[in-house]
């Protein structure tokens, strides 16, 4: 290039467009506490399920009875059910933490059935019924946070 040739001005490049910012949803303190407690319950159920599975296996082996005994099979089925229930409960706890709407609906349904069971037993003034009622009302009050 020679010095007599005109140089073109630098080309303007517009700034990159950013994706729209999603509004940040705040996790209500009560939902955080509930999800942590439910998660701890799920971890407890997983541990108990594994212990039942191990107990069913270990107790049938030393006696020389084998794997076909009713105790062993019953322990394996119950342990598997408790283990799966624990994993499901952990999933619900994570979904509550992430403010998923399906977890809110599931929680409200479970609390409703708990209150109905106490009502059928005419235990309206029991701690279980009152706790379920308070949690039900609280989850209804914070439902706008869920998506």
50 and 61 belong to one structural domain: yes
* CA torsion angle 30 35 40 42 (round to 10): 140
- How sure is the predictor about 123, in pLDDT bands with cuts at 50, 70 and 90? confident
Please compute the mean of the pLDDT values over residues 93-107 and round it to a whole number.
94
pLDDT > 70: percent of the chain? 82
Q: What is the pLDDT of residues 15-72, one digit of tens each?
A: 777 677 666 668 999 999 999 999 999 999 999 999 998 887 776 555 555 555 666 7
Answer yes or no: pTM beyond 0.85: no
Residues 88 and 106 in one domain: no
**Average confidence (pLDDT) over 109-130:** 89
- Mean residue pLDDT of the chain comes to 84
What is the C-alpha separation between 16 and 125, in angstroms, rounded? 61
Burial of 97 (0-12, 13-18, 19+ CB in 10 A): middle
d(CA 12, CA 9): 9
Would residue 18 count as lying in a domain?
Answer: no
Candidates 98, 96, 54, 92; CA nearest to 72 is 54
Higher local confidence (pLDDT), 115 or 1: 115
Mean pLDDT, residues 82-91: 93
Of 17-21, 103-107, 110-114, the range with the lowest mean pLDDT is 17-21
The CA-atom distances, in angstroms, between 141 and each of 60, 104, 138 are 51, 11, 5
Residue 111 has pLDDT above 80, yes or no: yes
What is the number of domains present in the chain?
2
Q: pLDDT-derived band of residue 147, with 50, 70 and 90 as boundaries? A: confident
Answer yes or no: do 40 and 92 share one domain. Answer: yes
Same domain, 104 and 69: no
Which residue range forms the structural domain that includes residue 132?
99-147
With CA atoms as reference, report the closest residue to 57 among 74, 42, 40, 41. Answer: 74
Q: Which residue has the tokens 């869920």?
A: 146
Torsion angle in degrees (nearest 10) through CA of 119, 121, 123, 129: -50
What's residue 11's pLDDT? 81
């Amino acid at each position: 290039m020679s010095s007599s040739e005109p140089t073109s001005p630098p080309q303007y490049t517009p700034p990159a467009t950013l994706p729209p910012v999603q509004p940040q949803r705040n996790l209500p303190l009560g939902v955080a506490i509930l999800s942590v407690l439910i998660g701890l319950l799920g971890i407890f159920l997983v541990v108990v399920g594994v212990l039942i599975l191990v107990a069913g296996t270990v107790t049938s082996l030393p006696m020389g009875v084998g794997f076909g005994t009713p105790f062993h099979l019953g322990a394996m089925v119950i342990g598997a059910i408790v283990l799966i229930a624990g994993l499901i409960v952990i999933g619900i706890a994570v979904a509550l933490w992430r403010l998923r709407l399906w977890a809110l609906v599931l929680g409200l349904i479970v609390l409703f059935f708990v209150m109905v069971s106490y009502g059928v037993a005419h235990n309206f003034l029991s701690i279980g019924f009152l706790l379920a009622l308070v949690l039900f009302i609280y989850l209804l009050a914070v439902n706008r946070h869920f998506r």
